[in-house]
Chains A and B, each alone.
Chain A
Amino acid sequence: MPHVMKLPPLGQTIEEAKMAEWLVPEGKPVDKDEPLLVVETDKGNLEVNADAGGTVKRHLVKIGVMVKIGDAVAEIET
């Protein structure tokens, strides 16, 4: 079962963010705490780190889509 990474809480005032960029492509290895994706918020662009290490199996959101805190964003094969 791959690990499903959810968009973590990004501070008190941020409820959702726009998916801006994948830093690790599907099929590539990622470490826990390695920057995985970038989201756009009203506070500027934020890099978000992977919450588990392994291989990025699937990107679950497309660039430009709004993502809520807690939504699944990626599958990581641990």
Chain B
Amino acid sequence: MVATIARSASPANKDALEDRLNVYRKLKRIRLFEERLAVLFQEGKVYGTAHPCVGQEATAVGALIDLRKEDYVAGTHRSHGHCIAKGADLGRMMMELLGREDGYCGGKGGSMHIAALDLNMLGCNGIVAGGIPHVAGAAMAAQLRGEDRVGIGFLGDGAANQGLLYETLNLAAIWKIPLIVVCENNQYALSARYHETQATPDIATKAAGFGMPSEVVDGMDVDAVRAAVGKAIARARRGDGPSFIECKTYRFLGHSLRNDRPKRAPEEIASWKARDPVAKNRALLADDHGLGSAAVDAIDAEESKAIEVAVKVAEAAADPTRDKLLAGIYCDDPYEQTPPPRSAADEKRQISYAQALNEALMAEMERDSSIIVFGEDVGEGGGVFGVTTGLQAKYGAARCRDTPISEQAITGLGVGLALGGARPVVEIQFMDIMTLAVDQLVNQAAKIRYMLGGKPTVPMVLRSPLGAGIRLAAQHSQSLEAWYMHVPGLTVVMPSTPYDAKGLLTSAIRSPNPIIFLEHKQLYFLSGPVPAEHYTLPIGKADVKREGKDVTVVATGAMVRKALQVARKLGREGISMEVVDPVTLSPLDIDTIIASVRKTGRLVVAHEACRFGGPGGEIVAAVVEHAFKDLKAPPQRVGAPFTPVPYNQALELAYIPDEEQIAAAVQATLR
């Protein structure tokens, strides 16, 4: 029936009608999907929570209808509409909401993490504003390849109070990232009213302050949203940089399907409902385009049927089997291995740890043009410890970039670049400062692969110096590696020699997983044998630095050299110490450690992190579990006392575990 009418119209009218039909179908599809979801929730078939976008359909459709498939989108916690507008399959969405194996995320994500990676919908995000740097990074990766893709990131008015948004807007503006941020100001952030959380009448005025076009549009008007976003898309594609669009809109339902706070005045709800985008576009079709109400009813029935089919498919689909619990955390895809030409023992050339890292970066950037290095002062300055010296001169300012002091955004941008196919190597100036980027590391980088069903990879390296010893006091000296060991999805590498540093950084860059690469400050200017050639070393494999038969000392980072010195000293007294460096703290090569303890019967663990809650507890516990009967003495732990790092030299030296403490711990196991 629709086609008959279209044929009888003039070509221009026909185009307009088809366009309106397309718009209406999408609006209606979203509306029906959300209404059906509410029923499924009530029936107990969808669990947890879900945030319906009923009332807000025009922002999703208006913003995404003219986007190309290859363009990127990042959603929010209220993103079913964004997925549908990007063209997501209703069946796979429903399956995900029901937690099914064939859902978009294998049942691992649910409502707040639906992603359609085949459509470059990078995922909804349970951390408000969390996805904005991802879509910026993915679009930037494409831009670096010379493509004209853009990224659209959605967020709410509540999310617009997150610092991450502003850090990312600033980065996008200075780097002209093809990013469009669409802010859906639906007047509420859970129970908070807009005017209670922001002093400016418009959010858009803030974005304008970062030096980008920023405008307010009627978010109930799909055509207004479309026009504004269209302008922003064109600008981004031209390479002129980001834009911000604030859509004033309203959610007709509660915050979530389980939460309807705050109480809203019925008149307020009615005044917004009077501007319902679905009803308005229905009227446009039926009346202005002369389709008539029966024809639109027929369309509604088709859309309704499509959703019922999706529900049926989802209800009949299988849940993931229990063995899927541990699937899709890490990516096991092989990457190119380059075996070292010589062992450290056979190498004559000695260079510093910092230079060894620099050689790895230099050679990898030459080998792979998708590698981009960025961080504070890494460009011309070469980084605080000189690790990135010369990279900018050799590879240009596009591939070795200084960033603003915005740890959250640069880490999030790294995640996005990785999702978009680049290979980011991010430097965070001090490990203490990584605390500012913890959400992006722990909730985003570490989990994206798993919660999106084991599909995306996040090949990002985040390098950072740690440790005390150069009198930088409490906020520039910590060893917080145990925090990240506790996060599934992250790989934590901590090399102790220049030889290992070069080979492992090369591997870390080639690895498909997000890797935290920790460099002890005290090691940067110590030298050791390093082949001039390029090589990889295995991640996740411990290294026996010295063989012995009486005691196993597991030492990490700067403690390895100290343990070796102790081994030499005690060796002259007839005590044979084996020194094992885990090298990778997570995943931990506990097998090598256990094998060593089985041989020696004694265990000492030495690390610079605080003893309490430090990596040593995990290592000792694992050894006790697996090799209790082989132990001839209680294991000993050497670590820093439970205190912030002090400035005064004597106090700082008292803080850092030393050779005497290691020797005493070894002696204690021999008593």
Contact = CB atoms under 8 A, between A and B. Distances in A.
B349 A9 contact: yes
Interface string A32-76: 111100000001111111010000000000000000000000000
B472 to A, nearest CB: 16
B529 A33 contact: yes
A9 B531 CA distance: 11
Contacts of B575: none
A27 interface: no
Interface in B318-362: 344-345, 348-352, 354-355
Contacts of B524: 44
A33 B345 CA distance: 8
A43 B568 contact: no
A9 B348 contact: yes
Nearest to B358: A11
A2 interface: no
Interface string B521-549: 00011111100000000000000000000
B527 A44 contact: no
A34 B352 contact: no
Interface residues of B, number: 21
Contact of A29 (B351, B525, B572): B572
Interface in B296-322: none
Given A33-B345, A34-B565, A34-B568, A11 B351 contact: yes
Given A46-B525, A47-B526, A49-B527, A10 B345 contact: no
Contacts of B354: 43
Chain B CB within 10 A, most for which of A8, A45, A48:
A8
B352 A9 contact: no
B350 A49 contact: yes
Contacts of B386: 43-44
A60 B454 CA distance: 60
A31 interface: yes
B349 A8 contact: yes
A43 B352 CA distance: 9
B527 A46 contact: yes
Given A45-B525, A49-B529, A33 B349 contact: no
Contacts of A51: 348
Given A43-B355, A49-B350, A10 B527 contact: yes
Contacts of A8: 348-350
Interface in B253-274: none
B181 to A, nearest CB: 43
A71 B300 CA distance: 87
Given A11-B355, A44-B525, A31 B568 contact: yes
B350 A9 contact: yes
Contacts of B349: 8-9
Contact of A47 (B348, B527, B564, B572): B527
Contact of A11 (B348, B352, B565): B352
B564 to A, nearest CB: 8
Interface in B603-634: none
Contacts of B561: 35
Contacts of A29: 572
A26 to B, nearest CB: 17
Nearest to A30: B568
B248 to A, nearest CB: 57
B360 to A, nearest CB: 13
A9 B349 CA distance: 5
Contact of A10 (B350, B564, B565): B350
B526 A35 contact: yes
A47 B528 CA distance: 8
A48 to B, nearest CB: 6
A19 to B, nearest CB: 14
A57 to B, nearest CB: 17
A14 B520 CA distance: 23
A44 B344 CA distance: 23
B344 A33 contact: yes
A9 B355 CA distance: 12
A10 B525 CA distance: 11
Contacts of A33: 344-345, 528-529
B62 to A, nearest CB: 56
Contacts of B527: 10, 46-49
B658 to A, nearest CB: 15
Nearest to B359: A11
Contacts of B344: 33
B120 to A, nearest CB: 43
Nearest to B349: A9
Contacts of A11: 351-352, 355
Given A10-B527, A33-B344, A33-B345, A48 B568 contact: no
Contacts of A48: 350, 527
B376 to A, nearest CB: 20
A40 B331 CA distance: 44
Contact of B528 (A9, A45, A49): A49
A10 B351 CA distance: 5
Interface of A: 8-11, 29, 31-35, 43-49, 51
23 contacts: A8-B349, A8-B350, A9-B350, A10-B351, A10-B352, A10-B527, A11-B355, A29-B572, A33-B528, A34-B564, A34-B568, A43-B352, A44-B352, A44-B386, A44-B524, A44-B525, A45-B525, A46-B526, A47-B525, A47-B526, A48-B350, A49-B350, A51-B348
Pairs of residues from A and B, 7 with the lowest C-beta to C-beta distance, nearest first: A11-B351, A44-B525, A8-B350, A9-B349, A11-B355, A46-B527, A47-B526
Given A46-B525, A46-B527, A47-B526, 12 more contacts: A10-B350, A10-B527, A33-B344, A33-B529, A34-B564, A35-B526, A45-B525, A46-B352, A46-B526, A48-B350, A49-B527, A51-B348
Interface of B: 344-345, 348-352, 354-355, 386, 524-529, 561, 564-565, 568, 572
